[in-house]
Amino acid sequence: MKRIVIFASGSGTNAENIIQYFQERPIAKVVQVLSNKKDAKVLDRSKNLSVPAFSFGKEAFLDTDQVLDLVAATSPDLIVLAGFLWKVPQKFIDAFSNRIVNIHPALLPDYGGKGMYGMHVHKAVIGNKEVESGITIHYVNEHYDEGAIIFQARTSIDDSDTPETLAQKIHSLEYEHFPRVIEKLLSE
């Protein structure tokens, strides 16, 4: 059985969706969830689904090998960033080459980069009067949102859409596609 580690910073709805998806499939399971926020809702969601969950600080992630060692001990086949807002250090990219994936709430290469996450993205997309948006699942490299694109899904934007309604459309795409793309990657 393949092993997945999830990094998340916020409420954890994508992480919860992925955990539940793989609880019903024999190909893989989520073995650990990590967050850079000790009060992140994702930690509670994970524990409620019987997945070990831990928080960590900046020093443990960037300046020492504490988090790297914790993850390596689980022997993950794939590391999934599901709303994780920190840049992944080079030591992780080297240790887990082509085994770290991220989901971004826009059609990269547009609306990516430092500071472009969540509602910031949706406000920019609506503000620029785009006619469509979507999600991008991509490999993680040393730059924000610049790794090789694995998958994209699109949704149209109506004149009546707001950043909030666009966010709902994007979340629907994430919930539908992210677990399936992860499953496909683990099957290859």
Catalytic residues: 104
C-beta of residue 136 within 8 angstroms of C-beta of residue 91: no
Alpha helices in the chain (DSSP H): 13-23, 41-48, 58, 66-72, 90-95, 118-127, 163-187
* Alpha carbon distances (Å) from 49 to 17, 44, 52: 11, 9, 9
CA dihedral 177, 112, 134, 20 (to 10 degrees): 20
